[in-house]
A and B are shown apart, each in its own frame.
Chain A
Amino acid sequence: MHEGSITIRLPADPKEIERLNRIVRQFGDLHEVPGRTLYAVNLALDELVTNVILHGYEDRTDQEVKAHLTVQEGVITAEVEDGGRAFNPLDAPTPDLNAALDERELGGLGIHLVRSLMDRVEYRREGEKNVLTVRKRIR
């Protein structure tokens, strides 16, 4: 594993997610992040950025999302920053995993995955920006 970081700026367009995923996987491979950890971080970042793109802006035109990825001291950290309306996705209710099929809700799946895949998830409002930080110990 090698230490390093990358900043990715994406237009707020759902089509950009695929490019984000490719960049994250390449970054992970170059820094020799183990497969399972990389898969988890890739998926968590996908969910967070998708959430911002689909729900963060009244009008997505000319808006962007910034993702910052760092590998340092055995921990991979991803930070997602957007200038959309104040929104903390961690306020979303946890889906009831014990519900029967006909009662399972369709919402909340993404953020539940993020919480489950990552060791730490934090939200903060910084001026006009939402910043979501997730961390995972590399193993």
Chain B
Amino acid sequence: MQIKEDKQGEILIVTVSEHLDTSTSSIFESRLLGMVDRGERKIVVDCGTLEYVNSAGLKVFLLAAKRLEPLGGKLVLCALAPSVLMIFEMIGFTRIMKIVSTLDEAIRVLKGDASPA
């Protein structure tokens, strides 16, 4: 797993790559929650290079979304591979998290100027 951060104005783009599993999820958890704790409120997780996620990794997304919500923040996920998206659907996360197909769209959502569907 690799994690990259890129700040664009108020928006923090986090790219998580390869495998998010039992051995790597605790690192991702402390990084992502650390970003929230240091004051980031608009976070995109770009999953375009994420190949595999298990329940340990899914839990990190849930934790971050739960922590951001009462702070008035927002987590948007983008570019999930079909197999990864299937897992998010299966676990019901597509109902409680904003998941979009491209990074541009994620940025538009967080800027608040997403055009109505």
Contact = CB atoms under 8 A, between A and B. Distances in A.
Interface residues of A, number: 28
A101 B96 contact: yes
Contacts of A36: 83
A102 B93 CA distance: 12
B49 to A, nearest CB: 16
Contacts of A98: 92, 95
Given A18-B19, A43-B54, A50-B22, A104 B90 contact: no
A97 B92 contact: yes
Contacts of A46: 21-22, 54
Nearest to B65: A101
Contacts, number: 69
Interface residues of B, number: 24
A113 B83 CA distance: 13
Contacts of B69: 101-102
A14 B92 contact: no
Interface of A: 14-15, 17-18, 21, 36, 39, 42-43, 46-47, 50, 54, 95, 97-102, 104, 106, 109-110, 112-113, 116-117
9 contacts: A36-B83, A46-B21, A46-B22, A97-B92, A98-B92, A101-B96, A104-B92, A106-B63, A109-B91
